[in-house]
Amino acid sequence: MTVVQIPPLPVRDKSAGRALSPMLTRLAEERATGVLVREHGTLYLAEGRVVHAESPFAPGLDVLLTAHGTLAATAWQRAATETSGPLQAAELLLDAGLLPAGALELCHLDALYDAGYFALAPSSAPGRFRYDRAHRLGPLPSVPVVALERETLRRRLLLHRLWPDPAADTAPLIRADPAAARTAAPVTPRQRAVLDRVDGVRTAAGIARNLGRQAFHTLVDVRRLVAAGHLAPAAPVTPVVTALAPPLPPPVTDPDIALLKRLRDALEAL
């Protein structure tokens, strides 16, 4: 029988009432404009509000726009080469009439909250902020820092309730034992799409990019599938250390040492 070590609930501790990032709270209070780089993602601020977020664990705005036909991939590529970042590319496409305003706003907010969730994850290194007036409040929606933090806490709590062990969030995923899977709960079409992409190599983030979905929503499916017995995180590979024979001593090249060795050998032969 497998025993799961259940981590403590991430929001029910003494720090739950405090800001997820004191630096971010201070920047919001001073209405700062610039880029906050954290261990798991980057937040872009304009006048103390979050206008954009990026994380290696979440698909970018380009993926969400192009994955399901909202925008042609070639159109995004052209706009990206003519601008300095995804926000500028999106605004260019909006001005050119290639994107419906409502669809762009929804995808932008989806990408912001998705990447913001990972950017605000607990980190082992302090964040770094660079003041940069290039970022501004443009036509795309922005969100208050307090709203992003509140939504991040809500998402943490939801994942914990679905399955408390976060190992499957970042590890490569594997199918559960077929015999156990036959007795597990049935899966929805959305979860089946996730299962079909499990190959022992892809992580939840990789599956989200492949599907063109938000990473957090993919985590919800992954944790439900793990809880139902369909999925499991792959065990980490332990490197095998092979015992090596001690190296042979280097040949003696000093003539004085060679002479002493010959004298020792002659004395031992007496």
6-52 per-position pLDDT tens digit: 555 544 444 445 678 999 999 999 999 999 999 999 999 999 999 99
pLDDT band at 192 (very low <50, low <70, confident <90, very high): very high
User: What are the pLDDT digits (tens) for 85-106?
Assistant: 888 999 999 999 998 999 999 9
- The answer, yes or no, to whether residue 264 has pLDDT greater than 90, is no
Looking at residue 93, its pLDDT comes to 93
pLDDT at 179 over 80: no
Q: Which two tokens stand for residue 179?
A: 């015999």
Enter the tokens of residue 257: 């040492």
Domain map of the chain by residue range? 22-161, 164-233
Q: What is the pLDDT of residue 84?
A: 85
Residue 109 confidence (pLDDT) above 80: yes
What's the pLDDT score for residue 30?
A: 96
Helix (H, G, I), strand (E, B) or coil at 238: coil
Which of the four pLDDT bands, split at 50, 70 and 90, describes residue 241? low
pLDDT band at 263 (very low <50, low <70, confident <90, very high): low
Closest CA to 222 of 180, 179, 159: 159
Q: What mean pLDDT, rounded, does the chain reach?
A: 85
Determine contact, residues 62/54, Cβ cutoff 8 Å: no
Rounded to an integer, what is the distance from CA 212 to the centroid of its chain?
15
CB 180 within 8 A of CB 2: no
The one-character DSSP state at 55 is -
Range among 67-76, 127-136, 175-184 with highest mean pLDDT value: 67-76
Using one digit for the tens of pLDDT, what is the confidence trace for 125-177?
889 999 988 777 778 899 999 999 999 999 999 999 999 999 999 999 999 87
Q: How far apart are CA 53 and CA 149, in angstroms?
A: 13
Residue 13 confidence (pLDDT): 43
